[in-house]
Amino acid sequence: MKNLRRIIRGTAVINIHSLLMENSIIGIVGPNGSGKSTLLKIISGCIDDFEGSSFVDGIDIVENHKVCARKIGALIENPWLYSYVNSYEMLEIAYKLRMGVPGTREEIENNLKTLGLFSKKDIPLRDLSSGEKKRLSIGLAVVGSPDIIILDEPTDNMDAKGVDMFGKLIDQLKSEKERLIIVTSHDLNIIGKICNRIIFIVGGEIREDLELDGKGYFLILQTDENFEEESLGQFRIERTENGKFAAWIENEDMLNSFFKTISENRIRLKNIEKITRAELEYKKIMRSQ
């Protein structure tokens, strides 16, 4: 994507200079109204009234929408579902629309089992719970094993069983082939478990773009007024919004070295928290709003 801008009533809801997404699982997070769903609609080709360019495998999605659409499966905001059909029939319709032919009984029944909906395959969709409808919507997005899968708040309204199903489905999708999966969620615990990259969007702009590499340690230091950040050498020290000094330590080996360094400099430790870098950055962003 290059020079993306979308203006609504004089306000830029998306303003991204450049963004490259390659085969991986990417989480997009940000406050409500930050532009997450708008960005997904641009990526999936649902809207075309924007400035700039968006490409799928080097193909312009606006100029060649049908070609790109075959490569993309998406669940964005409230999906379309026919209330009078059942889950089996809804998946049949999805196969016909995406593949041009109905799915086999084996394919559809396997999908329903993966989604935890096989026992309810004959129940009209109007009688399913909101969580069950969300599970079915995810199943519709992955019909035909597309190269790009876009899931907007996929675990919203789901119970623990549904969230567990979603995790297993992502594992299955990863094992099938190399592909790009884009997920938005307000639940950083889920994002941290399934994603290997996270993009923070605030006000339609990318605030942070981070690779996820497990949990580390966030430490708040008890310092005096003469403290100099340079005294801790290799360790990155930053000032928090309340004036305290803090450090981010990536692993236990570095943590032991850090403890030795602050001890030598007679600096006390006020607090330590095990947290992902993504969770840390998200907290900082949310506090700044």
Domain end, chosen from 153, 188, 211, is at 211
Q: What is the mean pLDDT of residues 173-178?
A: 88
Q: Please check the confidence at residue 230 and state whether its pLDDT lies above 80.
A: no
Q: What confidence category does residue 148 fall into, taking pLDDT thresholds of 50, 70 and 90?
A: very high
Specify the pTM. 0.78
Residue 55 structural domain: 2-211
Condensed to tens digits (0 to 9), the pLDDT of residues 69-109 reads 889 999 988 777 888 999 999 999 999 988 887 789 999 99
Q: Are residues 233 and 138 in the same domain?
A: no
Q: Please check the confidence at residue 285 and state whether its pLDDT lies above 70.
A: no
Q: What is the mean pLDDT of residues 212-240?
A: 76
Q: Are residues 227 and 191 in the same domain?
A: no
d(C-alpha 167, C-alpha 282), whole Å: 22
Q: Are residues 206 and 248 in the same domain?
A: no
What whole-number percentage of the chain has pLDDT above 70?
95
- Residue 184, SS3? strand
Q: What are the helix (H) ranges across the chain?
A: 36-44, 65-69, 87-99, 105-114, 130-141, 160-176, 188-194, 252-264, 277-288
Q: Are residues 204 and 221 in the same domain?
A: no
Q: What is the mean pLDDT of residues 172-186?
A: 90
Q: Are residues 205 and 248 in the same domain?
A: no
Give the count of domains, the chain: 2
Instruction: Give the pLDDT of residue 244.
Output: 80
Sign of CA dihedral 127, 129, 133, 138: negative
Q: Find out whether 163 and 191 touch, Cβ atoms under 8 Å.
A: no
Q: Are residues 133 and 171 in the same domain?
A: yes
Instruction: Give the pLDDT of residue 149.
Output: 95
Instruction: Give the pLDDT of residue 212.
Output: 74
Instruction: Give the pLDDT of residue 261.
Output: 85
Q: Are residues 81 and 195 in the same domain?
A: yes
Q: Are residues 85 and 169 in the same domain?
A: yes
Instruction: Give the pLDDT of residue 108.
Output: 93
Q: Kindly report which listed range (109-123, 139-153, 156-170, 204-218) carries the lowest average pLDDT score.
A: 204-218
CATH number, residue 66: 3.40.50.300
Q: What is the mean pLDDT of residues 51-78?
A: 89
- What is the DSSP-derived secondary structure letter of residue 189? H
Instruction: Give the pLDDT of residue 238.
Output: 79
Rounded mean pLDDT of the chain?
86
Domain end, chosen from 160, 184, 211, is at 211
Q: Are residues 283 and 154 in the same domain?
A: no
Q: Find out whether 45 and 69 touch, Cβ atoms under 8 Å.
A: yes
CATH number, residue 228: 3.30.70
Q: Find out whether 199 and 209 touch, Cβ atoms under 8 Å.
A: yes
Domain end, chosen from 156, 179, 211, is at 211
Q: Are residues 244 and 199 in the same domain?
A: no
Residue whose entry in the numeric block shows the structure tokens 């999966």: 181
Q: What is the mean pLDDT of residues 35-64?
A: 90
Q: Are residues 143 and 221 in the same domain?
A: no
Q: Are residues 138 and 229 in the same domain?
A: no
